[in-house]
Every structure is written in C-alpha cells, then in structure tokens.
Structure 1
Amino acid sequence: MKPFPAVFRAAVLASVVLLAGCTQVSARKIIPLDAFQRIYVEQRRSDNHHLDELFVAELKRLGKEAASGPLTMMPEKTDAVLTYDARWEWDFKTYLIELTFELHTTHSKKKLADARYYQPSIRTKEPPEIIRQLLVDLWPKP
C-alpha cells in the first residue's frame, strides 16, 4: 500500500485545525417578539459567572425592562422568562464553550425563542459579547 503524499497529509491537517475552532451561533424566533417588553431572567444557582446580570444589562440596552433572580421573585407583570444553561471549560483559563437559552411566556410556558452559541476551542469570545450577539439576533435595534 502506497503512503499518502506529504501535500495531502498537510491539507488534511490544516482542515482539521481550521474546523476545530468553528463557532456555531443560532437564534430563532418562533413568533415575533416585539410585544414582549418585560423580561425576567431566571437566575441559576450554579452560575458563578453572573450571566443573568449580563443578560439583564443587554436586554436593558435593547430597550427592554429586565430583571433577574429566582422564579419566586419574578414581578407580576412579566411578559416572558429567559432561562439559560452555560458550559464552561478550563484549559489554563476558564472560558465559555457553550451557551443556550430559551424565552418562554410567563404562565403558559409557551416557547417564544431559543438561541445557542458553541465554540469548541479556547479562542472564544467574552460572555458579554456572546450574549449581545444572541440577543441582537432576536431583537434587532431599530
């Protein structure tokens, strides 16, 4: 059996290196979100990075009324609840490798939108930039 030429091996290696750092970002609205102005971000007990506060800051920057905390503290006139999950990795530094969130109606829990960010390498964006990108995809600023 004849070995692969060096050029072919180099091309395969370069492809693997380039694909290993691919970022996947998706955000989708199930219905238009213009009517949802008061958003409550459910605070995760296990979130030591305070992502709920970053979500609130970005929602306010987009002109929404936003607050965060445990669901038991949600204000009565909340239009939608944002829940999120984050996966962090450590490789000489801690970095966010995956962030997913869903937006639901307050009482019926009907899904309104969802989004996902996935970056399987250490060269990731900072959490505020990731959250900004995902939320702007759902609520573009006029």
Structure 2
Amino acid sequence: MKVSDILRVKGGTLYVVKPDDSLTQAMATMAEKDMGSLVVVEGGAVVGMLTFREVIKDVVRHNGQVAQVTVRDAMEKQPLLCTVDTEMDEVRRMMLERHARYMPVMDGSMLMGVVSFYDVAKAVVEEQSFENQLLKAYIRDWPQAENATDNAAG
C-alpha cells in the first residue's frame, strides 16, 4: 500500500499556514478545524510543520503569552516528508524513528496532503482485516475430503 492510497480515501482538504502568521491565529485554525497539524508554506514551498506538540512547547516557553509569537518561532523547521509513491511500511518506520505524528506528502514540489499516524494505523488495520478475510475464505474452501483421505492413508 502506498501513501497515494491513503490520500485517495482521505480526501483533498488541506490547510496551510505561513511562517509569519501569528501562532494565536494558527492555534485558532487548528481548534476550529479540529486538526492536530498545519503545514507551513512559504513561496509555494513547504518550510515547516506546526503540530500541537510545537504549540504546547511554545506556549510553555512563553508562559502562555504567545500573542507576539509567529508560526516560524514555533514550527518544526525540518519536517519529515514523503511522496505519494512512498510505501506505508516506510512511512511507519520513518514516523516511529522520529516520533512524528504527521507527515506532509509531496509530489515533486507540490504539496498533496498530510498523513497522520492515525491514517497509517487505520490503513494497516484495514489491510490486515482484508488479508484475514481472504485467509478465512481460503481456509473455508479447503478441500476437506481430500485432506481426510490423505490423513487416513498415512
């Protein structure tokens, strides 16, 4: 399974923020849209990632006074990136190694979406469920008569 498979199911809604936007406005967008992350874009390029983890760290760092803080001050400046062709096993490995919960998906220089750890876990569970159904169907269709004859002869 590839990242493109997840994006196809997930849909195309994508929210971004600029590095010079206020952290307060970014937090309001995240709360309003019930999102855990925003991709930070400048000049058409991905320059960072803002997640609730960075927001919380910056709120604590500034004792709750974030009115003058920009997204640039809080964002992860070197986020993990993947492509639409990246295999899910690779995305899982990358996310686990970096403790990342969100990963922007690129197609060349174009931002295609974001996959979350939840999206990855859901895809894995659905894939395993499908494989289990196939295995159960295969086992149900196992030729019982031949198997019983073979066991009796041996």
TM-score normalised by length of structure 2: 0.23
- Structure with greater proportional helix content: 2
Higher relative contact order (CA 8 A, sep 6+): 1
TM-score normalised by length of structure 1: 0.25
Bigger CA radius of gyration: 2
